[in-house]
A and B are shown apart, each in its own frame.
Chain A
């Protein structure tokens, strides 16, 4: 096999393998969703969803994350066209939007804990913090990944390794937005409906 064929095969395997990993992550989230669904009304002496959810705030978070998914797509477009500077630009924008999302989320969590509605108050709050927090943790890992990718790109530019990893990152980032659609709907919208 010539070098290009080897590279294509390797990329194909790696991206499919990463896709399979993402499928397993979906099941992980599904378990947390199922648990949230079962425990959502077990509020003990604490608040329920409609007592603590700030809907405009959540909408803002949602639109930030959605936009970052879009800019991630623009990053991939630049990568496929071989434009390093644009890749770095859109990675940076995606990072900024993702960071804003996580910052908003941590702020919300801190307020809740400060008001005495921590994760140890009730089963509902435990599942809320865990489901939303696990998503936030994944986003944080994604942000770290962006920083590492940025460093790699500055050192090595766009080669077969870096473009493959950018594709894998984009699958990760888009999938996190898909999960957020469900969190937005099932946790927040159904919490106040």
Chain B
């Protein structure tokens, strides 16, 4: 359990709340005002999302204030590794499958094989 006195706790929640609102609005207006486009936009809003998650983990879920041994942190980090492997692994695999099985790719391959006598 964490060691937090009431005023510190209140400050934690207020800071977390204000920061989260700012990060939410920043991402929202970045998109609706077309401040960025394409990859830049995606990078910006993902970065803002990650920042907000870190804010909420620290200020709302008190993750930084856990007493040692930091088991909650250890389990969280392990989960994030698995999550990363699952999500990015799946995206890589599925995109790879689509590319290698897509009709255009296959058509040109078959045409090429036909002309080579297969």
Give A contacts to B, CB under 8 Å. Answer: 8, 11-12, 15-16, 19-20, 23, 26-27, 30-31, 33-34, 37-38, 55, 59, 62-63, 66-67, 69-70, 73-74, 76-77, 80-81, 171, 174-175, 177-178, 181-182, 184-186, 189-190, 192-193
Cβ contacts under 8 Å, B60 to chain A: 69-70, 73, 174, 177
On chain B, the number of residues with a Cβ less than 8 Å from chain A's Cβ atoms is 41
CB distance from B25 to the nearest CB of A (A): 8
Q: Is the interface of A mostly helix, strand, loop or mixed?
A: helix
CB distance from A51 to the nearest CB of B (A): 16
Using CB atoms, name the residue of chain A closest to B13. A73
Using CB atoms, name the residue of chain A closest to B82. A27
Cβ contacts under 8 Å, A80 to chain B: 6, 9
A177 to B17, CA, bound (A): 12
- A193 lies within 8 A of B42 (CB): yes
CB distance from A25 to the nearest CB of B (A): 10
Give B contacts to A, CB under 8 Å. Answer: 1, 6, 9-10, 12-14, 16-17, 20-21, 24, 27-28, 31-32, 41-42, 45-46, 48-49, 52-53, 56-57, 60-61, 71-72, 75-76, 78-79, 82-83, 86-87, 90-91, 94
Partner of B27, one of A11, A20, A171, A189: A189
CB distance from A188 to the nearest CB of B (A): 9
- B28 lies within 8 A of A77 (CB): no
CB distance from B18 to the nearest CB of A (A): 9
Cβ contacts under 8 Å, A38 to chain B: 90-91, 94
Cβ contacts under 8 Å, A182 to chain B: 49, 53
A59 to B5, CA, bound (A): 33
A189 to B91, CA, bound (A): 19
In the A-B complex, the 3 residue pairs with the smallest Cβ-Cβ separation, listed nearest first, are: A73-B13, A185-B49, A70-B17
Query: Assuming the A-B contacts A27-B86, A34-B90, are A181 and B49 also in contact, with contact meaning beta carbons closer than 8 angstroms in the complex?
Result: yes
Using CB atoms, name the residue of chain A closest to B20. A66
- A26 lies within 8 A of B79 (CB): yes
CB distance from B90 to the nearest CB of A (A): 4
